[in-house]
Structure 1
């Protein structure tokens, strides 16, 4: 199928061939018939992409500040690489979609194949959309009309926040498409509407809808004009649907409002508010968020948890339904706003010049026949018998920025990459020369050419995908964590021992040249080759992540202790050469929970070593993100942010410094070498880079830490996650 995307780095808008999405739980698969081009929102994205790097920086001063902080902590080159990687991630365009249902996922019971629906799906021939963002279209509403559903809901939500009453005067600043729709909806609400725009064509179109219009270029003083139209009282409410970089519009809005009037911002304008204007009139100002309650709430949108109607009358989906009902009754008329209909293949007619003043609403039309293949072949695949053919499940930021460059540097033979929607996988496949992209990860599991399955999806899927890959006869590299619940661990162990395939977890820090140097120095200090007990203190200045992030969701990300602190448990295990026997965890706050991300872990090791991990999210970004201190035999090692290692008391060595290196590339090189070795000893599971017993122990330790927090005591690690304790087969 084809999908329209925007590259923010090059400014290119292009139609991309991608695999057809697979329907997921709680989602609806839709074949698109129409989609509406949002000339405001999409023009901003296109113009941002085409702007110079300096111009991009000027538009996002808050991002510039973050970049400067990252340079201070991580260094210039890693920061610049991160910035360019971010800009090089193309965005899907569009959010006003109409089509017919192709398939419904589990949990969706009120839609059927063939139903016509409106959704916020992008400009693509097939889209997969969560059920709460899909609304059935009444028979009386045409596809062209239904394409206005989502964008009309944006205006409707602004009106709901304004809460106008019958007979009030409301000013709509900006008569673009959203402004025109908002003005018409206000008239249906019994309001007297004054529309303002500097484009005379839009003013004339609003006039035809019965709206009083003012053109600031024709009227010398818009504020006086509104006051004159309201008998010097002022407007009861203002809805701003315009886009402007300065704060002139918000200033004018405040001045033309009556005392105790209301202002709602739907568009994007400067917000340098004049306190006097708002103070003297006791004005109310509110910013409207998209289509309505539920927007950006993962529980509502992705997990399908609706808000009770009695308590939240108007959710985003109910706003969609309202618009469709108004269209069906003929009360909302959108036909006059349609200025052109363009086939998807001819998209450049629209995106080549989005500044045309004649355009109000442009529709993209779609072919009836679509290629529904779940896999795209981007280049000829060259099979090699070296045993290092790789398939990747997951195409997120980590895969793009870290994993794929490391795999390419290792010489891996990359055959297939999978992502749920297909788009990210295709973009990464093109960029990194991968032969195939797919939206169905089972294509990788069922491919006999693929030796290693790399899993980089969200944390809650790691355990199940690892088990499926092992049962398919694949070796597995799974990005941390291995599992987020205790009951997931034993099935993984059983699958690994049955399949006799190795499982590697992305504990990369032990492979950093700095960590390797520390290990060598510590081993050198023990001439008898005995495991000398040591004290290791790790401080992680992790930084703040919002509570509504999937990482913080216990059921999806597992929380940051399970999902991230495991890195440092493994590192201490590597340095001490021992396994954790018990753990105690304490978290900040009286209401500490399993997703607390400011916590301290105390670790006891079998050889008498101790570990302390201070994982904090409330520190300064200017301070180093990771610091490791090792104390042993009157000697000390300090590793600062994997950029500088300082030794105290070690003869012949005092310091090692350079570019930040957390060991990703070194781990991937070792992993591919492991694959080569394994292919030459197919009947024997050879020694892995990280012993499987270490991986299991680290996973048990993170889960035991959560139990420790719940039970407020030390917890023995050995039995965690085990119905019965299997003896882990030693790797030879």
Structure 2
């Protein structure tokens, strides 16, 4: 299928050929008929992409600080490589999609095949959208009109926050597409609406819809005009839908407001607020978040858990429905706003003119009825592929992009296929790393005879099932940690593993030259090992904290250090005890100390903390044995004390990824023992489960 994307690095807008998405649970697969180009939002994205690095940095100073901190801890070149990889990721454009349902996922009962629906899907011939972001279109609303659903909901949510009442005077600053729709919905609500814009054409359109529209270029002082219109009372509310870098719009909004007036920001503007303006009038100011309650809430959007109507009357989906009802009843008229109707193939006629604005208000993209919905695309010939060593990758997220593929490239791996949920990220990486096939159906990899090794890079909750499926398909398997999230999943894997194929987990740190050196120095005698992870804070709503999806950071990440200490001690974990920071520690923690007792008498301590400074080293390992000490700092510097002939190893940051993959490629090609013994992998996984059990029971847990 075809999809419009934009490069963050160059700002170029491209019509890309990507695999069509496959249906997911709780989602609806839609064949697009029309989509609306949000000129304001998409213009900002395109202009940001076209900006040079200095200009991009000025627009995102918080990101600059993150880069500087990363340089301090990881070095200049790895940081620059990460930055350019990130800038190379394409951005799918569009969020106002209309089409016909072609498939319904499990857990969806409110839609059926053939329904006309509106959603926040991208500019793509097929989109897979969670059910809470999809609404049915009334029979008397055309597909063209329905493309205004989502952008209309943005304006509607601003109105709901403003909470206008019949007869109030509301000012709408900015009469672009969202501004005009907002103004018309306010009129339908019984308000007197004043709109301002510097574009005379938009002002005229607003006037035809009953708005008292002003163009300040004509010499009208907007603040004085509002006070004159309201007998010097001031506006009851101001809704800002315009975008500006200065603080002038906020300042004007405050000055034109009455005492205890409300100011709502939908657009983007400077926020250097004058305390005097707001203090004397006791003004209220609020930023509106997109389409309404539920936005950016994974439970609502991705898992389909609705908010009870009696407690949250207007969610984003119910806002979508309200906009469609307004169009159906004639309260909101949008057809006159359409200035361009463009075939998808001619998309450039819109995007090439975004920067200069042109005369467009709303541009509608039209899609072909015979669009291609293949789930796999061939990017280059696979005739050369044969024998062992062919790799198929499932998952095209940040780890695949930033770590896995660069390491596989250095290991000269034979890459056959990559699977990604949406198709775009996988296709982009396939082109960059000369991967022959891009697919949205991972089963294509499992049935591909050229694929000998499956690498699983998905979210953690999918690891165990994909490992079992891959083993049953006769594939060798590499899975990024963790292997499993619970004992049931682990037992399923153990029952499926017969040793005829290799199963490796991404415990890469044991393959770092620093850890390899430490191992060669200390041997296998009993020792004390302290591993400290300055993990950094991750917001609570990120999926890694979800026990069902990510397993939490102890199972999901601290397992790295259990394996590392197991490798150094040459023994397996016998008992585990974990303590967490806090008065009432929960099983889902990322500030904890784990004590490990090993079968050979060694002890391990893992300090996994998220409350430290990002400017400090991320990882540190200390080993104490027989009057000797070794300290490894962030996989860059290792210093030894008490050893003859060795005192220091210094490299660029090397966590062992490349070495692990090189060795894995050799094993796949030539055979030999597993890189990590299977019983050690199982022991490490059980130890991570035991840490959580220890926290809950406040006791030592024995590993069976």
TM-score range, shorter chain: over 0.9
Tell me the residue number matched to 1:425.
Answer: 426
Contact 2:96 2:148 in 1 (8 A): yes
Matched, 1:595 2:588: yes
Map of 1:698 onto structure 2:
684
Deviation at 1:220, TM superposition (A): 4.5
Contact residue 504 and residue 690 of structure 1 kept, 8 A: yes
Is 1:533 aligned with 2:517?
no
Q: Distance in 2 between matches of 1:160 and 1:687?
A: 64
The counterpart of 1:548, out of the listed 541, 548, 562, is 541
**Relative to 1, partners in 2 of residues 1:121 and 1:384: Cα closer, same or farther, differing over 3 Å?**
closer
Structure 1 residue 496 displacement after superposition: 1.0
Give the distance between the partners of 2:95 and 2:327, measured in 1 at CA: 19
- Please tell me whether the aligned partners of residues 426 and 438 of structure 2 are also in contact (alpha carbons under 8 angstroms): yes
Taking the aligned partners of 1:594 and 1:347, their CA distance within structure 2 comes to 51
Moved over 2 A (4+): 382-386
How far is 1:544 from its partner? Answer: 0.5
Contact preservation (8 Å) 1:219, 1:225: no
Please state how far the C-alpha of 1:302 moved relative to its aligned partner. Answer: 0.5
Q: After superposition, give the CA deviation of every residue in 1:71-91 in whole Å (9 maximum; x if it has no partner).
A: 111111111111111111000
User: Residue in 2 aligned with 1:381?
Assistant: 382
| Inter-partner Cα distance in structure 1 for 2:603 and 2:254 | 63
1:730 maps to what in 2? none
Moved more, 199-208 or 130-139: 199-208
Contact kept, 8 Å, 2:125 with 2:371, in 1: the verdict is: yes
Residue 554 of structure 2: aligned partner: 561
Between the aligned partners of 1:104 and 1:594, the Cα distance in structure 2 is: 36
1:487 and 1:219 mapped to 2: Cα distance? 73
Any idea what the Cα deviations from partners look like across 1:31-68, whole Å, max 9, x if unmatched? 00000000011111111111111111111111111111
**Structure 2: distance between partners of 1:424 and 1:292:** 28
Q: Equivalents in 1 of 2:609, 2:294: separation in Å?
A: 30
User: 1:354-413: per-residue Cα shift (whole Å, max 9, x none)?
Assistant: 123311000000000011111000000144444100101000111011101111221221
Q: Are 2:600 and 1:614 aligned? A: no
Deviations 1:119-151 (A, max 9, x none): 000000000000000000000000000000000
Structure 2: gaps (5+ residues): none
2:347 is aligned to 347
**Alignment partner of 1:225 is 2:211:** no
Among 535, 556, 565, the residue aligned to 1:572 = 565
Match of 2:655 among 659, 662, 668: 662
CA drift of 1:219 comes to 2.8
Normalised by the length of structure 2, the TM-score is 0.99
Q: Is 1:649 aligned to 2:642, yes or no?
A: yes
CA distance in 1, matches of 2:215, 2:333: 23
Partner of 2:145: 145
Contact 1:422 1:437 in 2 (8 A): yes
Match of 1:722 in 2: none
Q: Tell me if the contact between 1:533 and 1:632 (Cα under 8 Å) persists in the aligned partners.
A: yes
Q: Could you tell me whether the CA contact under 8 Å between 1:554 and 1:594 is conserved in 2?
A: no
Across the two proteins, how many residue pairs are aligned to each other?
A: 703
Corresponding residue number in structure 2 for 1:265: 265
Look up the match of 1:190.
190
CA contact (8 A) 1:514 1:639 kept: yes
Answer yes or no: is 1:412 the counterpart of 2:405. no
Q: Does the alignment pair 1:241 with 2:246?
A: no
CA contact (8 A) 2:594 2:607 kept: yes
Distance 1:384 1:165 in 2: 69
Q: Which residue of 2 aligns with 1:712?
A: 698
Contact 1:393 1:419 in 2 (8 A): yes
For residues 554-596 of structure 1, what are the alpha-carbon distances to aligned partners after superposition, in whole Å with 9 as ceiling and x for unaligned?
1101100011101111111111111101100111112322221
Is contact 1:477–1:505 with CA below 8 Å preserved after alignment? Answer: yes
Paired with 2:306 and 2:110, the residues of 1 have a C-alpha distance of 14
Alpha carbons 2:36, 2:365 under 8 Å: kept: yes
Which runs of structure 2 are paired with 1:299-378 in the superposition (5 Å)? 299-354=299-354, 355-378=356-379
Paired position in structure 2 for 1:724: none
**1:37–1:94 Cα contact (<8 Å) kept:** yes
Task: State how far apart, in whole Å, the 1-side matches of 2:404 and 2:87 are.
Answer: 18
State yes or no: 1:604 paired with 2:604: no
Q: CA RMSD, aligned part only?
A: 0.9
1:286 deviates by: 0.5
